[in-house]
Amino acid sequence: MELLPRPDEWPETRSGKVVTSLLFVVFLGLAGIPVGFGFVAAGIPGGLRYALVFSVLMFLTAAFGYFSQLRPRHRESDIAIVNRDGVAATVLRDRC
């Protein structure tokens, strides 16, 4: 089986902008935790709940960004060209 080369038209998803954005979102999530405890220290205990909800939303956003932008969608070994009845065909193997 011959592996398919990656087409030049397909952009690389591991750009610096994506990584920087995800790190910034994680930073916002981490910053929300001490801010919540700051609300408790200031005598506003309800602020902790909202700050923690904000942090969880930021972490979920970062996870979504990772799974949709950075995680490899397939391995090169999952795609191959085979000869079927004298015609080249593409085979995509399932990971399951």
DSSP strand pairing (79-84 vs 87-92) = antiparallel
- Please check whether residue 58 is in contact with residue 25, taking contact to mean a CB–CB distance below 8 angstroms: yes
87 - beta bridge partners? 84
Q: Is 80 helix (H, G, I), strand (E, B) or coil?
A: strand
Q: Are 35 and 53 in contact (CB under 8 A)?
A: no
The predicted structure's pLDDT at residue 12: 64
CB 86 within 8 A of CB 9: no
* Cβ atoms < 10 Å from Cβ of 91: 12
Cα distances (angstroms) measured from residue 74 to each of 11, 71, 78, 93: 15, 9, 7, 10
Asked if the model's pLDDT at residue 4 lies above 80, the reply is no
Looking at the predicted structure, is the pLDDT value of residue 47 above 70?
yes
pTM value surpassing 0.75: no
Q: What does the pLDDT average to over 14-33? A: 91
In the predicted structure, residue 96 carries a pLDDT above the cut 70: no
The owner of tokens 């490899």 is 72
